[in-house]
């Protein structure tokens, strides 16, 4: 691709999202990006919803976690050597219209990684008070863990250039991968920034989303990683 029309790959980790996956994928296709769906051992029939769409489909035999699915998607897509790699949730919270804006922003800024933020411009719709408080606490924990002070510590919408995607090492299989990516950003001295994106919370996404207990699981995973590394 030329500098003005970069090649872009969108990686969608998914687990039991049969109700939303086709809508999410179809919202991305008009953008002209390569879409890679990584099925993390789903027990519903996700493939039947997308098998006629022009995408790449990868599958884990077992449910390993979102971090593992993203790693699988990156390992696959890095071999195809895209200019940029985007991680995008499968539950409908992320908005396809934000992606071209992020691609333009990372191109112009020459950043290595651009992180979506639901708090820049207050673009979160229907966020619960509990969710907001947990994310505020996550900012503090993230800063203590990585040294990066961000407005949104756990947003799954992010874009990396090829150099960053190739260099980052992911070992956290579950949700702690989000903090791990930031720790790698710090370790590798990558140029990073944040970009305002819209996150839409629906009854479906709230039901499928992380519960408060998962926050403690994330902390536990990170502590164990520190001990054994």
Q: Which two tokens stand for residue 157?
A: 């919408």
**3 found inside a domain:** no
pLDDT for residue 223 is more than 90: no
The rounded percent of the chain whose pLDDT value lies above 90 is 70
The model scores a pTM over 0.75: yes
Rounded to whole angstroms, the Cα distance separating 146 from 68 reads 20
Does some domain include residue 138? yes
Is the pLDDT assigned to residue 14 strictly greater than 80? yes
Angle at 14 between CA 9 and CA 12, to 5 degrees: 10
Which range, of 13-22, 79-88, 168-177, 208-217, averages the lowest pLDDT? 208-217
Q: Which residues share a beta bridge with 129?
A: none
Whether residue 180 lies inside any domain: the answer is yes
Residue 117 lies in a domain: yes
Residue 151 pLDDT: 93
Q: For the residues 14-23, what does the mean pLDDT come to?
A: 96
pLDDT per residue as tens digits for the range 101-133: 999 999 999 999 999 999 998 777 777 788 788
The CB-based long-range contact list for 135-140 (8 Å cut-off, 24+ gap) reads 137/215, 138/215
The string of pLDDT tens digits covering residues 191-200 is 999 999 999 9
CB atoms within 10 A of CB 20: 20
CA 125 – CA 178 distance, rounded (Å)? 21
Residue 68 is part of a domain; what is its CATH number? 3.90.550.10
Considering the chain, what is the average pLDDT of its residues?
89
Q: Give me the number of domains the chain comprises.
A: 1
Q: Is 2 inside a domain boundary? A: no
Residue at 1 is within a domain: no
The domain containing residue 23 runs over which residues?
8-228
Looking at the predicted structure, is the pLDDT value of residue 210 above 60? no
Q: What is the pLDDT of residue 227?
A: 44
**Distance from first CA to last CA of the chain, Å, rounded?**
39
* H helix intervals, the chain: 21-28, 47-50, 66-78, 98-109, 129-146, 162-167, 177-187, 203-208, 212-228
- How does DSSP classify residue 1? -
More confident residue, 220 or 154: 154
* Spatial CA neighbour of 89 closest among 108, 104, 73: 73
Residue 228 has pLDDT above 90, yes or no: no
The per-residue pLDDT for range 126-184, each reduced to its tens digit, is 777 887 888 888 888 888 888 999 999 889 999 999 999 999 999 998 878 999 999 99
């Amino acid at each position: 691709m030329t500098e003005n029309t970069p090649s872009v790959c969108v990686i969608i980790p998914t687990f039991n999202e049969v109700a939303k996956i086709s809508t999410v994928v179809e919202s991305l296709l008009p953008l002209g990006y390569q879409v890679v769906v990584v099925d993390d051992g789903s027990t519903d029939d996700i493939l039947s919803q997308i098998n006629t769409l022009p995408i790449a489909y990868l599958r884990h035999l077992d449910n390993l976690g979102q971090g593992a699915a993203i790693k699988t998607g990156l390992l696959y897509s890095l071999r195809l050597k895209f200019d940029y790699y985007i991680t995008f949730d499968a539950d409908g919270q992320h908005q396809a219209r934000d992606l071209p804006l992020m691609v333009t922003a990372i191109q112009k800024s020459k950043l290595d990684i651009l992180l979506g933020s639901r708090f820049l411009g207050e673009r979160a719709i229907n966020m619960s008070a509990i969710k907001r408080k947990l994310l505020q606490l996550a900012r503090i924990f993230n800063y203590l863990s990585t040294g990066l002070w961000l407005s949104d510590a756990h947003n799954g919408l992010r874009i990396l250039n090829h150099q960053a995607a190739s260099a980052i090492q992911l070992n956290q299989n579950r949700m702690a991968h989000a903090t791990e990516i930031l720790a790698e950003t710090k370790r590798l001295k990558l140029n990073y920034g944040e970009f305002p994106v819209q996150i839409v919370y629906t009854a479906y996404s709230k039901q499928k989303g992380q519960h408060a207990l998962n926050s403690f699981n994330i902390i536990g995973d990170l502590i164990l990683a520190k001990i054994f590394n």
